[in-house]
Structure formats: C-alpha cells, structure tokens
Structure 1
C-alpha cells in the first residue's frame, strides 16, 4: 500500500471532554485522513452508554457501530489500541483475567475489520511487574500464539513507552520481539517515545539528555542494522513541546503518581512540524532514518496527546483536525514521500493467513 495518513481518535479530542466519536471521525474525513487508530477509551465510552453498561456484549455492539461510522466516512481502522499493563504481571490471577480480556479484544478487532492490536510496555509500579524477562517474553509468546489461531490472524505491535517500568527503549522492545519470534508479533515505533527517552528529558533545564545528539545518532544506527522494515507493524509520529520550566514538583503538569515523561506525554505532545508551539525533538531525522535507511513503507499515524484535548471548547476537533492535516502535508514535503509506492504489508498478511503453523520469520537478533 502507499504511504497514507492515519490519526489516533484521541488526537481529535477526548471523548470525556464532550466531543463525540462521530464528530471526531467527521474531522478525520474532512481533513483527508485515510485511516484511524481506534482508541479503546472511545469504544468503551459508547459501551457505557448502552443499556446494561460496559458488558462484553455492549463492547461488541459498540465495535459494530464504530465500524459503520468509519465505513460511512471511508475510514480504515488500522489498529485497536492500547491493550495496557499486560506483560510480566506478578499477580498471575490478574494475568489470567487479562488473557480473557484479550479474547474479547480479538472479537472486537474482527468486527472493526482490523488485524492489529497495539501493546504498550507497562508502567505499573515495580512491585507489580516481574524483573524476570523470561516471564515477560513467555507472556508475549502466549498471546502471539493465541493470535495465530485467529482467522484472520491477529497481529501485535509492541511499543516501548519512554516511561515504561521494565521496557523503556526501542532496543528493549525489539529484543523482546526477537525472542518472542512469532510472525504476528512485531514492533511499534513512536517518534515521541524514541526521542523522549534517548534524546529528551523534561526534568532538565535544557530539555535534553547530556550528549543527546550523539546518543540518538548511535541508537538510530543500531536500529538500521537490527530492525527489518517488515517487522515494523506500526509507525506513530509526534513531536514534544519544550517546556519553559523543568517538570518537577511545582510544575503545572507534575503528578506525583506519574513519571515526569508520562506527564509530559499526556500534556505536551505536538504534531510534526509545529515549532511555533514549542516542538523541538529531532522527529524529521528519526523519520528520515526509518523511511530512507530502514525502508519503512505504509501508514504514518499521528498520535498526539495534549492538554488542549481536555477542553470542552467545541472548536477542539476542528482545530486538531486542521493541525493534523497541516502536519501530514509537512511530512509529505519534508520527507519526499512517494504516496504511490507499495509496501511489504500485503505480502506479510498473505504469509500469516496462509500458514498452518507458527513459522518464524525473524532472522535478525540484537
């Protein structure tokens, strides 16, 4: 498929701020987006409003409604996200409950017409997540095998959040992907989370780690050498705002229950190409590596969280849709995107859905 723009539904205004999902989808259609990442919270909001509340049956009914909304607007649902706090749970009874929840997510994904579920690394307190990486890997193998039994196959995109408890870098998440070694288990790369851990630190007066540029360059060189393009199942694009003050106690974004990078992410992500709002991360450099050197082709998904999204102002979805469209145009121009080029995606899906076993296709390990 060609390079096409997708946007997270949460990027167009949070549902609890009074902006309905159809209203947000209207903005995605109006501003030329081809697809959406469906945020589970938007689906849950619909289910809660149905008689009986957020039952499994109402989750499925909500998925049918959302599929209809998207079909009416010619929007493809490229993934359902995020399935939070799954891997390495110390409480194995909770792990078993999460497995049952995943079975419901499979049903919702099939109804929504997507084959992809996004898994962010957990940021639960350290006493709730094991240090045993073998346990974390086995947990991922368990759901990957479950996904392989689905028809069509369900894929998983594993993302390192830059404030993750055990996994906070793309290198750590890629190592797990390699060791899981299943064709339906790949990596999600997010420009904010890559730069937000390797390059940036909102608690520093400079907003940057020491020797940030060299450290990032070395990390990107490792990425080129390690990660094949067809193992990148999802590429999310966002910048971050340079804060005027360090994000420490006393800052308006400070939350004692959140790591600083998480509070920064929730309040101060920006679309690509917004230096006028304070954007300062080297997003263009990261994307040039992923597109020109790694050879990624496919969806470029804009995933932005920002304090503006919590406003009940009725202009929020329109404003964010317009900003997202301007960002996509900047991406096309700056990266010289060929929107007619084909990608590996259809070949990979054919391999997954025609295989009768769990043939492993990862050949590159760190």
Structure 2
C-alpha cells in the first residue's frame, strides 16, 4: 500500500466563513511539512466564487476551472491531492428524481476528481433525517450504480465509504464493511475515522462523563473484529481525529446545542481536535484505534489529520498556519507514541 505520510483536509486548516482562501491553506500545509491534501468541495466552491466574482453559484465549468487551478497550486507547492470529499446525502434516497439528481451530481464529482488528479472520492453514510431508506439491497444497488460509473472513468476513481457516527441508517464501521462486501467492486472500499469509530461505540456527548458505560469493552471488541475481518486492500484512507471533553452534557441548554441535530454531529462540527492535543481537552481513545488500523491491520498510506471546530470560522489570518503546525505536531506525537519508526 505504500508508506505512512502526513496529510490533511483543506477544511481542517480554515473555512470560507473565516475568509481563509485556498491559496493560504495550501501554502500553510506545505510550509509545515504536510505532503497530502484532501480537497473539500467547499474549498473548490469558494475558490470558484472568488475567481468569477459574479455569482455565489458557479457553473460546472467554473468549478472545474477552479479545481484545475487548485491542482496547479498543489503541484507548485509539492503537495499531492489524494482525495476529494465529501460526497454526501446519496444512498437510499426514496424519491426517484432526488436519486437521479444525485447521480448527475456524482457525474460532476467524477469530473472534479479527474481535474484535481486524485483517484478517491470520500463518501459519508447518508445522515438525512427523512426521505431515505436503510434497506441493504437498495443501498447496495445505489452504490453499485456509482461504483460502475467510477470504474468506467478514465482513469478510474475509487469510493471510500465512511459510516459516520450520526448516520441515519449506517453509523458503524461494521455496517459500512458489510455494504462494501456486498457491492463487490474493485473500486469500492472504506474510509476509517477514529472519531466516528470512538464517538459511536465508546463516547456519548449527552452523558456527564462523555462516555458510554460499556465503552471500553465495546471498543475493544469492535477493534478485534476490525483487525480480524477487514480486507486491508479495501481500506482506502485513514483519518485521525479527537474531540473535546465537554464541561457539561450536550443537551438542550448547552451553548453548542442545535435543536433537531444529533449530538454526535454537533460535537463533531464544533469541537473536534487533532490527536494528542490533551492541552485542548482531548477525550477519545484514538491511539488505540490507530494502533489497530496501522500496527495490527497493516494500513500503510496517507494518515490524514482531520479536525472540525467552531474556531475554524474565526476571521484570523494566522489560523491556517496555526492549524497546519498543530496537525504536524499531532502527527509527530502519534508517530512517536505508536513507534511507527519500527514498522
């Protein structure tokens, strides 16, 4: 599979709402030794809008032109784009026209991936609160449809399916693995994320201690299955992320509470951290998960340091550089803690 290398999503170094341009984000990554980039759709969109200066809804052609420019910037900086993400709200749509629209959107995303020069599109499990089904046969049929489209692309594109902790029907990595096995396509595999694994079976932001009563045992059993059952060749990407230990339960009355939004989603969007950031209240047993995926299962490819935070929306010109340094420092701590120099 290659070797372990440091990567980061563009959205983890800054946000359009904070005025952080893609140029600044990419330069910050390169200056702090980051080699791999997950390009987030919001970054392409923001870049396209800034280039056109005419509309906040750029055409497909303008989006492709923006993606081409991002690729050129990365090439000049020595950065490798390895993922486009996140293609969301797709599988299990009940309305036929909504499904057809999603397939058209997928075709555009394939063009974007080709333009960026990357061969992976990351796809979170559907978390729409209505209008979907968790029927496994329907889900697999939907996935086969877009996987075959990606196989027909030249060059081919892979799909990294991720069970997010707030997924409507699929919120465990075991479920995403079952989907992948049933899809049975050479270009359909998994994205494993330490936050989503731990947040679902070990943690609970609505509890005072932020942890499920049987969390330790549940996580240990889950990781045992991961190492035993998953085909290493089907793990296309690994994202490392922690989250803050909140001072009070994330329920109605908490400053971060959002009515109608699952607490694990709210927690993720506002309080994620890079690994080994105890100084900011790091909470999850992510080293245990990372050890299972890398040291035991044998994953050897990009290690993407991912975070989401309310602070990423702040209008701070130094924020991309600050976050890039944090990502690099975090990776170094994980590398040392898990003794990756001996692998």
Counterparts of 2:125 and 2:134, CA distance in 1? 13
Contact 2:161–2:191, Cα closer than 8 Å, also in 1: yes
Contact 1:2–1:338, Cα closer than 8 Å, also in 2: no
Match of 2:218 among 215, 218, 236: 215
The question of 1:36 aligning with 2:40 is answered no
Give TM-score scaled by structure 1 length.
Answer: 0.91
The equivalent residue for 1:76 is 80
- 1:72-114 CA-partner distances (Å, limit 9, x unpaired): 1110001000001000001110110111111111111111010
Counterparts of 1:301 and 1:288, CA distance in 2? 15
Counterpart secondary structure, 1:246: coil
Contact 2:28–2:324, Cα closer than 8 Å, also in 1: yes
Equivalent residues in 2 for 1:251-266, closer than 5 Å: 251-266=254-269
Counterparts of 1:16 and 1:61, CA distance in 2? 22
Give unmatched runs, 5+ long, in structure 2: none
The question of 1:88 aligning with 2:89 is answered no
Equivalent residues in 2 for 1:224-239, closer than 5 Å: 224-239=227-242
Counterpart secondary structure, 2:159: strand
Report the CA distance between 1:319 and its aligned residue. Answer: 1.3
Report the CA distance between 1:280 and its aligned residue. Answer: 1.6
- 1:260-280 CA-partner distances (Å, limit 9, x unpaired): 000000011100111111102
Moved over 4 A (4+): none
Give TM-score scaled by structure 2 length.
Answer: 0.97
Contact 1:116–1:156, Cα closer than 8 Å, also in 2: yes
The question of 1:111 aligning with 2:111 is answered no
Counterparts of 1:257 and 1:322, CA distance in 2? 35
Counterparts of 1:84 and 1:257, CA distance in 2? 19
Report the CA distance between 1:315 and its aligned residue. Answer: 2.0
Contact 1:207–1:243, Cα closer than 8 Å, also in 2: yes
Contact 2:29–2:321, Cα closer than 8 Å, also in 1: no
**Cα root mean square deviation, aligned:** 1.2
The equivalent residue for 2:16 is 15
The equivalent residue for 1:348 is none
The equivalent residue for 2:185 is 182
Equivalent residues in 2 for 1:280-291, closer than 5 Å: 280-291=283-294
The equivalent residue for 1:161 is 164
Report the CA distance between 1:54 and its aligned residue. Answer: 1.2
Counterparts of 2:140 and 2:67, CA distance in 1? 30
Counterpart secondary structure, 2:333: helix
The equivalent residue for 1:4 is 5
The question of 1:147 aligning with 2:150 is answered yes
Report the CA distance between 1:211 and its aligned residue. Answer: 1.2
Counterparts of 1:257 and 1:338, CA distance in 2? 45
Contact 1:3–1:338, Cα closer than 8 Å, also in 2: no
How many residues get paired? 339
- 1:253-295 CA-partner distances (Å, limit 9, x unpaired): 1001310000000011100111111102111111111112111
Equivalent residues in 2 for 1:255-334, closer than 5 Å: 255-334=258-337
Contact 1:271–1:302, Cα closer than 8 Å, also in 2: yes
Report the CA distance between 1:182 and its aligned residue. Answer: 0.5
Contact 1:91–1:128, Cα closer than 8 Å, also in 2: yes
Counterparts of 1:131 and 1:268, CA distance in 2? 29
Report the CA distance between 1:131 and its aligned residue. Answer: 3.1
Contact 2:244–2:283, Cα closer than 8 Å, also in 1: yes
The equivalent residue for 2:63 is 59
Report the CA distance between 1:322 and its aligned residue. Answer: 1.2
Give unmatched runs, 5+ long, in structure 1: 342-366
